[in-house]
Amino acid sequence: MVLTAIIITAGVLASFSLFVPQHQNPPSGEVDVRVINGDVTINLNFTFLSSISPNQGDSAYQNRFNNWRGTGTYIGVSLATIVELVGGMDSNDVIRVNASDGYYQYYAYYNLYPNTSISELQGNLVLAHSYNGTTPTEWGDGPRTVFLPSDSAYSNDDANSTTHPAWFSGSAGARWVRNVATIEVLHDVYIGGSFHFTVIDGDAEQDVYLLDLALMNNIEGFAGYQNKMGNWPGNGTYQGVPLSTIVELITTIDNDDIVNVTALDWTQAFAYYNLYPNETVYNYQGDLILAYVFNGTMVTAWADGPMIAFLTPDGTYSNDDASQTTEPTWFFGSAGARWVRNVITIEIIRDSFPL
């Protein structure tokens, strides 16, 4: 990536405090790294980055085969300093760093502002613009996110200890993004903890954390279900992610497949038409989501979640609605039976829809 000039959108003061109401496209070829925080956007390049007080250090990363790569001396700018140019971040925000080839990594507040124990493992997180004395045009991997721990070795164990489990793939090297194109602040999405459920497709499995759900397309709406006695428990506002989106994390399904959603003591099957409803089905059931927030309370404080929920257009999922949108052999006379609480697995069963 060639770094040649600097364009910063209107509002930059000498102190680097700024307010940019909207992004102004810079001249072609002059943008190297774009930093985004809502409506604030700045475009950075080597000339500007090299003018900021540098972070320099020796480092290397371990790959998934436990080999060491990238050994050398890096010079760059603290990612925290870069983010502060567009207004900074809070502890419940996340930074997404995107490479020019579509690869990306997320970083938490504690990665940019590590406490003593985290700093001992990862050191400073920087956007490096030089490697072993090379210029940006000579270094094919730059600019690059780099961790500079005090022992000059960012191991797989270090990465595991300083990375949210939703983001750790087993490799420290995966946390180093090469050819960085954009850096974006995502607000109010960070959820800590190890709580998760598992999506299964044959031999393929993926654990899904609450943080994963927060970073997906969320749907929110008022809903309730009718039980076998005709009562309406569970009325309230549900927030979650379409079940189809969760399945698509690892696979796609077709009309002959079903999706089994299992709790500790209960399983319900859902058809393709539940996940991808046509207009008729949608009018009865609405959006089929896996909810992780109920009336503003999140799992694990919400004891029934994560929970399957139907966000019908009228906010009421009746026994008749359930009868109209459930394969007859799966229907037990209750709409509430379709709302699986405390979900632990979502499994795709191929070619098993009843004929």
Answer yes or no: same fold for 33-186 and 196-349.
yes
The whole-number average pLDDT for the span 221-234 is 96
The whole-number average pLDDT for the span 122-147 is 93
CATH 3.40.50.300 fits 33-186, yes or no: no
**The pLDDT of residue 345:** 98
Q: Kindly report which listed range (119-123, 135-139, 206-210, 295-299) carries the lowest average pLDDT score.
A: 135-139
Instruction: Give the whole-angstrom CA distance, residue 56 versus residue 34.
Output: 22
Local confidence band at 31 (pLDDT 50, 70, 90 cut-offs):
low
Share of the chain above pLDDT 70, in %: 91
Local confidence band at 308 (pLDDT 50, 70, 90 cut-offs):
very high
**The pLDDT of residue 355:** 66
The whole-number average pLDDT for the span 138-154 is 96
Q: Kindly report which listed range (21-25, 261-265, 323-327) carries the lowest average pLDDT score.
A: 21-25
Local confidence band at 3 (pLDDT 50, 70, 90 cut-offs):
very low
pLDDT of residue 28 exceeding 70, the answer is no
Instruction: Give the whole-angstrom CA distance, residue 224 versus residue 6.
Output: 54
Instruction: Give the whole-angstrom CA distance, residue 261 versus residue 243.
Output: 10
The residue with greater pLDDT, 30 or 14, is: 30
Local confidence band at 23 (pLDDT 50, 70, 90 cut-offs):
very low
CA-derived radius of gyration, the chain: 24
pLDDT of residue 45 exceeding 60, the answer is yes
Question: Please, which residues have CB within 8 angstroms of residue 182's CB and are 6 or more apart in sequence?
Answer: 33, 34, 35, 36, 97, 98
Share of the chain above pLDDT 90, in %: 86
Instruction: Classify domain 196-349 at the CATH class level.
Output: alpha beta
pLDDT of residue 185 exceeding 70, the answer is yes
Q: Which of 310, 317, 305, 248 is nearest to 277 (CA)?
A: 310
The whole-number average pLDDT for the span 280-307 is 98
Local confidence band at 138 (pLDDT 50, 70, 90 cut-offs):
confident
Q: The pTM is what?
A: 0.89
Domain ranges within the chain, ordered by starting residue: 33-186, 196-349
Instruction: Give the whole-angstrom CA distance, residue 48 versus residue 54.
Output: 11
> Would you give the DSSP letter of residue 225?
B
